[in-house]
Chains A and B, each alone.
Chain A
């Protein structure tokens, strides 16, 4: 089994761009799709990126996802930050038996 490691927290100002990383501990990040979930305080998670870089309908194009084989990591990029983007963000990948989540990153929009 592998782990997905995220920074505990990141912060940035409104209008700026933030990148949240998610590093896979073993095996290639390209082997299994990566999803990203947003969880605002007191709410259920929702999907902002699936299958590495696909955006569900209704998610603004300010949200984008990518993977980098050289660093064995996935990234969530949020551009033009808005106060409502303040939330916890979780990456997730599939392994042979189930789902593997990162520990979550708290995004603060200053």
Chain B
């Protein structure tokens, strides 16, 4: 069974930092691209960042470019999102997603709340 467990969320002040982690199990982590998507309270889904299986060629939404960094440790089956210079508008539930593969669709984690407030 595929499991994706996010951690590291919580309350941060504007301008502060947080690092999210997503620990994966139930599939060969190093074979899949991984993605972060967020959902602000009462709003729709918003793509944040994606990373290839090998960890090269990350991509970012314009709203987080230069502030967030996605990375992965395939030896630890873990995906990261380093969030710096946080803004109030970054407040959201952040979801870790395993991208589609051979005959399997995207798999979602349960999400982790990040609140940015003074």
Contact = CB atoms under 8 A, between A and B. Distances in A.
Interface centre among B44, B60, B103, B110, by most chain A C-beta atoms within 10 angstroms, is B44
Contacts of B47: 98-101
Size category, A interface: 20 to 34
A108 interface: no
Nearest to A100: B47
Given A50-B100, A98-B59, A98-B61, A90 B44 contact: yes
A45 B107 contact: no
Nearest to A50: B105
Contact of A50 (B59, B95, B106): B106
A46 B95 CA distance: 11
Interface of A: 33, 35, 37, 44-47, 49-51, 54, 56, 90, 92, 97-104
Interface of B: 35, 37, 44-47, 49-50, 59-61, 95, 100, 103-111
24 contacts: A35-B100, A35-B105, A37-B108, A44-B95, A44-B109, A44-B110, A44-B111, A45-B45, A45-B95, A45-B108, A47-B106, A50-B100, A50-B105, A51-B100, A54-B103, A90-B44, A92-B45, A98-B50, A99-B35, A99-B50, A101-B44, A101-B45, A101-B46, A103-B44
